[in-house]
Structure 1
């Protein structure tokens, strides 16, 4: 009963040290409690040992038990129940703009750039439990795959469904960024963030990336940009086979890093370069740390006093000892 019950005033347990001392005192002094009668001979008396007399020390044991219970009550045992409630005080709305051009099938990341991105981005989504997240995909054109939502299962399912060929091939970075801005411009969140990923150079679309970046600034949207691809050459799709599958060959990796750095700088974000799976994971981990959601936690503590049981027990033991002393054991006192 006491193994998980803390005590408010445990110092009272020092009083328990008196109980063994009282026991030793009683052991040596108990014979003096009975009056003695000196006689020259006891032959005229029939001696029959009394079984009741053997139980007389029970009175002292009851008194010690009563004292122990009262000392425990003085130490104030109590149980503590802590409940907590969290309140998000600073929500973040995030849109991930993902390049789905044919070059995203390059195999410098394993198994390819797009699959590696989907895996890492999925873990990022799971970690943002208190934020709203949306998806924009782009290549030659762009569209909203998922509007910002708190339902992470919808975002994760949409992320898994992203494949090459959903829109015309190309790399319209400005279009992808502008679509992401359009999804966030009316957001009431305290912080609005775009994660813009590409593995190429802007070569399509009718909106210039710099124009889209200025729109992001106007609406207070920060943009983190990621250039995806190894340094040098990468095994990439170069043509179609007769059966419609891709033919792969070594291609030079070309990422407009200057443009990506410029977009990040204008909007107050940061540029990253992911050259392998591990580096891509580290980038999303860093963004996760940079964009923290403020959480306010309220804790409520309920205390329940348990000393009453021990106080009542001590009183009952004292009462029992008193009754036995003046009834059953009266003739021995």
Structure 2
């Protein structure tokens, strides 16, 4: 009955409590006004049952109903239609550079580093609805998997499709991965330009030195957040490929160039993180998400539609109906 209706003056409903003493008063008054005669027996009288004495109470019920409807009308029932207008300021352009070398299949993160990264990166993208995001893949060389786009379905599909194929030249070219991401951001007019550089190794190949790539990022005002993925110590990592294409795993020493990644992040105004397990990787993305915020101006418009009139009209109709009954059908009972 009241679905979708709000009441402006809810305190008016306390008046409904007045109906209880009104009912008590009516019962008391009815007993006082009813004449009684006491006789020893009614065997000599012809008796008949009539509904009219009972129906006369209908007038009191109509009054109570009318009073209840008036109280509801006084509570100001109304529906509210809320429309939202969002004005988006200049957002943030983010390139995620992902290391897809064979070492990313190490199982110190579950089920492996690459799959753990994909899951967390997807959650990160979903939390950035107002930013443009692109994906770069690199190993011994680098390429753009997805250019900057505001279509999150494309980005999420690209992240889901990231996998080790062995097609890209082996090794870890951190400088190449960073330079490719910078190249995609250098012409951006966004208020903030960010590269999230993810790797689990050291720079051991590539035509562009990481120092040069860092200088390019600095020149174009691009901030770099470095993320080193891998546990401290030994990790179960792929060391060879069998004839059937499956990997041979052995425990090997984890080597991540923390110093290089820290310098890249510090020089560009970013920050370096080390993810040693799935939870710390998730926490890193949460922190980056908080560090890089997009301002959004939201305006809400409220359209109120008053609904008290039907209740007031219904109450008036009940009063008129009670008045007509009192002066016509039940006139002889008054």
| TM-score normalized by the length of structure 2 | 0.82
Work out which of the two has the higher radius of gyration on C-alpha atoms and give 1 or 2.
Answer: 1
Cα distance change, pair 191–62 in 1 and its aligned pair in 2 (3 A)? same
Q: Residues 94-139 of structure 1: CA distance to partner in whole angstroms, max 9, x if unpaired?
A: 1111122233333433443333323332332333333221111122
In the alignment, the residues of structure 2 paired with residue 31 and residue 228 of structure 1 have an alpha-carbon distance, to the nearest angstrom, of 88
List aligned pairs for 1:126-137, cutoff 5 A.
126-137=126-137
Q: Root-mean-square deviation (CA), in Å?
A: 3.2
SS at 1:98 equivalent? strand
Q: Residue in 2 aligned with 1:76?
A: 76
Query: In 2 relative to 1, CA 325–146 (structure 1 residues): closer, same or farther, beyond 3 Å?
Result: same
Q: What residue in structure 2 maps to residue 39 of structure 1? A: none
What is the distance in 2 between the residues matched to 1:278 and 1:155?
Answer: 23
- Residues 240, 246 of structure 1: 8 Å contact kept: yes
2:95 and 2:196 in contact (8 A); partners too: yes
Q: Would you say the 8 A contact 1:90–1:295 is kept in 2? A: no
Q: Identify which range, 277-286 or 256-265, moves more after superposition.
A: 277-286
Moved more, 181-190 or 73-82: 73-82
Contact 1:92 1:293 (8 Å CA) reproduced: yes
Report the equivalent of 2:222. Answer: 221
Offset of 1:24 from its aligned partner?
A: 4.3
Tell me how far apart the structure 1 counterparts of residues 136 and 78 of structure 2 sit (CA, whole Å).
Answer: 56
- Aligned residues of 1:77 and 1:306 also touching (Cα < 8 A): yes
The 1:23/1:244 distance shift into structure 2, 3 A limit, reads closer
SS, match of residue 6 in structure 2: coil
Change (3 A) 1:231 1:62: closer
Which stretches in structure 2 are left out of the alignment for 5+ residues? 35-45
**Partner residue, 1:253:** 254
* Preserved CA contact (<8 Å) 2:175 2:211: yes
Question: Would the aligned equivalents of 2:73 and 2:311 in 1 still touch at CA under 8 Å?
Answer: yes
1:244-283 paired onto structure 2 within 5 Å: 247-283=248-284
Alignment partner, residue 144 of structure 2:
144
SS of 1:202's equivalent? coil
2:134 partner SS: strand
Output aligned runs, 1:159-170, within 5 Å: 159=159, 160-170=161-171
Match of residue 40 from structure 2: none
Q: Structure 1 stretch 158-167 or stretch 182-191: which is displaced more?
A: 158-167
Answer with 182-191 or 20-29: which moved more: 20-29
- Number of the residue aligned with 1:66: 66
Counterpart for residue 181 of structure 1: 182
Q: SS at 2:329's partner residue?
A: coil
2:182 counterpart SS class: helix
Shift of 1:4: 5.9
Report deviation, 1:93.
Answer: 1.5
Alpha-carbon distance change, 12 to 171 in structure 1, aligned in 2, over 3 angstroms = closer
Answer whether contact 1:69 1:313 (CA < 8 A) is retained: yes
Consecutive unaligned residues in structure 1, runs of 5 or more: 35-45
| 2-structure distance, mates of 1:317, 1:91 | 60
CA offset at residue 304 of structure 1? 2.2
User: How many residues are paired up?
Assistant: 323
Say if 1:66 and 1:228 are closer, same or farther in 2 by CA, change over 3 A.
closer
The 3-state SS of whatever aligns with 1:73 is: helix
1:88 maps to what in 2? Answer: 88
Distance 1:53 1:193, change over 3 A: same
